[in-house]
Structure 1
Amino acid sequence: MTQARNERLSTASTLPVPEAELDSTQRRELYRLLETVRYLDVSAIAWQRQGILPGYAPERGQEAAQVGSAYAMDRERDFIFPTYRELGVARAWGVDMVAYLATHKASWHGGLYDPVASRFAPIQAVVAGSVLHAVGWAHGQTLSADPSGQTGVAISYFGDGASSQGDVHEAMNFAGIFKAPVIFFVQNNGWAISVPTERQVAGGSVAGRAAGYGIPAVQIDGNDVEAVYAATKAARAHAAAGRGPVLIEAMTYRRGPHSTSDDPGRYRSLEEERQEGGPDPVDRYAQKLRESGIADEAFFTTACEAAKAEEEQLRAGVIALGPRPGREMFDFVYAEAESEVQAQAAAWRQETAYQENQDA
């Protein structure tokens, strides 16, 4: 199994990727983000078990892929299109995390944050749905290009399982033809829920498919945060210069269940998970910073304490989220309310008023 896992990562690339240019301050910031995301992710699982969140999709093992890619994007010009497993991207991008987790609490369907102001699209639960949205936004950039020739770049996150959806192929074809400035960022975590990648990705590589659409691609070690940063930075430069889309396949591993309702023990053992997962991305980067002299034990202690403090604030904020007004289920159905929706809203108001009177 270990040999098969190692063979999944090839060195083939059609996108030149220079080494990451990061100073010591940036490297320490990357680690603090990794530590914080790891702590929040583990805590979110506990919150689901405690009844604070109805459900959650863990990302343990994918922190480097998410933090490194988000860190490489331009917050002023670019736009992120997430799925339901991008807590690390949201945190690295600076999204209000209480507002982000409102979706997981089921109190709001797209997050309470402002997607336009944050340049972080609403959480997308439809598998591969965000890919189409990203290409649409990116195509809009080409239609209203900056006089300098530089454009904003969209980055769409999806998994190896989602790559088998027809929407992905339509999006790549359209983007390839119209040179849309979009990065297709595939987090290949080895599993499409309970199905291993080799049983649902023909050809063995998502990156290999890009050639069919005339798109450059790169397959990287998704557990190396600096490698992820470097690849995303190169992909962004390529797309922003008007040269079209790029596909990045970050080879990582999902260390845990697909969601808090999943039992991974039904399709793999704990021993297989340990072997296939390889070096932990957070521990791996900590070791690199230690060996390079960029960070000492005092730094790691402080980073851990800061992550714990943030978790406590976030937990309190999520618990404090009250229910949304019931009328919103009618207010945000159509831009112009149709008669049937208006009738349903009137009936709901009447029933609600009656129940309130009964309770009084």
Structure 2
Amino acid sequence: MTRIVGERDLDATRFDAEDARAALRDIVRTRRFDERALALQRRGWMSGYPPFEGQEAAQVGAAHAMRGDDRLFPTYRSNALQIARGVPMSDILLFRRGFPEYHSDHDVPVFPQAVPIASQIPHAAGAGMAANYRGEDWASLVCFGDGATSEGDFHEGLNFAGVFDAPTVFFCENNGWAISLPERRQTASESIAIKAEAYGIEGVRVDGNDPLATRAVVADALERARDGDPVLVEALTYRRGAHTTADDPSQYRDGDPDLPAWRTRDPLDRFAEWCEDRGIVDGDFVEAATEAADEELTEAVETAESVPRPDPEELFDAAYEDLPPNVRRQREEAGAVADDHPDSYELDR
């Protein structure tokens, strides 16, 4: 049975003042990360970047709903969720510079970002099945966009979860666009949440620009999942920027007249105003949180820049135990290029 929550009334959501302050603080932190990362990419500091501006509230709300031992399966646009979950900003920046994804020794139970669309969904269902086999009491939360629901991996993952009662929450950030394709062009379904019915699991829809409502819905879903009832959560949000830094949304998006104002409004402004109106924060809160985030980002960038660049020959170390002759030649050629042109492997700072 699909339960449609829609736009939530924040006053009716379970929370206390510190919950709201923590959510607003992380929305500010992740917004500043997104802005800084975009600026760094534009100057050549990293090769590419997928902006998430507009989706911070959905991701922060979901992160704050998770227990410490719950497993996170992120997609490439889940940076806000990872940061709010505890992944160091420097790890995400290093990944975008071509380094191994988790450079630090943090203990957040999070799997690698999935760049192929929807490939992480069966992984999350399988991990949930493993938790059942081992008698462990944690749930998987897997993130994806609305476009991923048109991929076979989505259907396979939900089908396995439904059949085997895998403790998995499928968290769809419906930002209205599957790259350049609007939702109405990539699915004829009434909603994403209603697709859960085909697999015998619950589907629920929530205002993804409301971090407290998202937290409440995802927390309920995780509890149900741990009891053997997987859930599909559709968070209605909006991608305010490009799909990636290689994308030009002006070529396909000329406003979104079909979407309500609450969905396209900046979730940071909206939530900050709500908190101020109720005396939860004062007028200096966002400014102070921004300053703290900028300090954190400066340290993260310095950490990322301090990591020595890898030897290009290391690309070949994990490919074969004994390198075939053609791969051995490629390794030697890569080393020779690095020796002759050492500056060519340095990223512009």
Contact preservation (8 Å) 2:27, 2:60: yes
Q: Give the deviation of 1:97 after TM superposition.
A: 1.5
1:46 aligned to 2:36? no
**Structure 1 regions of 5+ residues with no counterpart?**
1-9
Contact preservation (8 Å) 1:160, 1:201: no
d(CA) in 2 for partners of 1:353, 1:40: 35
Of residues 81, 94, 98, the one that matches 1:106 is 98
After superposition, residues 124-139 of structure 1 pair within 5 angstroms as 124-139=114-129
Match of 2:111 in 1: 121
1:305 aligned to 2:291? yes
Q: Give the deviation of 1:98 after TM superposition.
A: 1.0
d(CA) in 2 for partners of 1:220, 1:308: 31
Letter in 1 for 2:16: D
d(CA) in 2 for partners of 1:303, 1:324: 35
Q: Give the deviation of 1:205 after TM superposition.
A: 1.0
Letter in 2 for 1:268: R
Letter in 1 for 2:240: R
d(CA) in 2 for partners of 1:271, 1:84: 24
Identity %: 37
Which SS does the other structure have where 1:53 is aligned? Answer: coil
Q: Give the deviation of 1:322 after TM superposition.
A: 3.5
- After superposition, the Cα gap between the structure-2 partners of 1:21 and 1:343, relative to the gap in structure 1 and judged at 3 Å, is farther
Letter in 1 for 2:98: A
Match of 2:244 in 1: 259
Which SS does the other structure have where 1:141 is aligned? Answer: helix
Q: Give the deviation of 1:262 after TM superposition.
A: 0.4
Of residues 155, 159, 162, the one that matches 1:176 is 162
Letter in 2 for 1:169: H
- After superposition, the Cα gap between the structure-2 partners of 1:329 and 1:355, relative to the gap in structure 1 and judged at 3 Å, is closer
Contact preservation (8 Å) 2:93, 2:301: no
1:217 aligned to 2:210? no
d(CA) in 2 for partners of 1:157, 1:259: 17
Match of 1:205 in 2: 191
d(CA) in 1 for partners of 2:79, 2:271: 19
Contact preservation (8 Å) 1:198, 1:204: no
Contact preservation (8 Å) 2:312, 2:335: no
Of residues 208, 220, 225, the one that matches 1:239 is 225
Match of 2:86 in 1: 94
Contact preservation (8 Å) 1:215, 1:245: yes
Match of 2:345 in 1: none
d(CA) in 1 for partners of 2:50, 2:225: 30
**RMSD of aligned Cα (Å):** 2.6
TM-score, structure 2 length as denominator?
A: 0.88
Match of 2:19 in 1: 26
1:269 aligned to 2:269? no
Q: Give the deviation of 1:318 after TM superposition.
A: 3.1
d(CA) in 1 for partners of 2:50, 2:74: 13
Which SS does the other structure have where 1:176 is aligned? Answer: helix
d(CA) in 2 for partners of 1:338, 1:208: 48
- After superposition, the Cα gap between the structure-2 partners of 1:310 and 1:274, relative to the gap in structure 1 and judged at 3 Å, is farther
Q: Give the deviation of 1:310 after TM superposition.
A: 1.7
Q: Give the deviation of 1:344 after TM superposition.
A: 5.3
TM-score, structure 1 length as denominator?
A: 0.86
Contact preservation (8 Å) 1:20, 1:229: no
d(CA) in 2 for partners of 1:249, 1:278: 16
d(CA) in 2 for partners of 1:143, 1:132: 16
- After superposition, the Cα gap between the structure-2 partners of 1:55 and 1:356, relative to the gap in structure 1 and judged at 3 Å, is closer
- After superposition, the Cα gap between the structure-2 partners of 1:105 and 1:185, relative to the gap in structure 1 and judged at 3 Å, is same
Contact preservation (8 Å) 2:94, 2:103: yes
Which SS does the other structure have where 2:241 is aligned? Answer: coil
d(CA) in 2 for partners of 1:65, 1:247: 14
Of residues 49, 53, 60, the one that matches 1:60 is 53
- After superposition, the Cα gap between the structure-2 partners of 1:32 and 1:144, relative to the gap in structure 1 and judged at 3 Å, is same
Q: Give the deviation of 1:302 after TM superposition.
A: 1.2
d(CA) in 2 for partners of 1:165, 1:271: 24
- After superposition, the Cα gap between the structure-2 partners of 1:270 and 1:346, relative to the gap in structure 1 and judged at 3 Å, is same
Q: Give the deviation of 1:174 after TM superposition.
A: 0.5
- After superposition, the Cα gap between the structure-2 partners of 1:352 and 1:40, relative to the gap in structure 1 and judged at 3 Å, is closer
Contact preservation (8 Å) 2:158, 2:199: yes
- After superposition, the Cα gap between the structure-2 partners of 1:355 and 1:234, relative to the gap in structure 1 and judged at 3 Å, is closer
d(CA) in 2 for partners of 1:124, 1:154: 15
d(CA) in 1 for partners of 2:251, 2:15: 42
1:249 aligned to 2:242? no
Which SS does the other structure have where 1:161 is aligned? Answer: helix
Q: Give the deviation of 1:244 after TM superposition.
A: 2.3
Contact preservation (8 Å) 1:178, 1:244: no
Letter in 2 for 1:246: V
Contact preservation (8 Å) 2:58, 2:235: yes
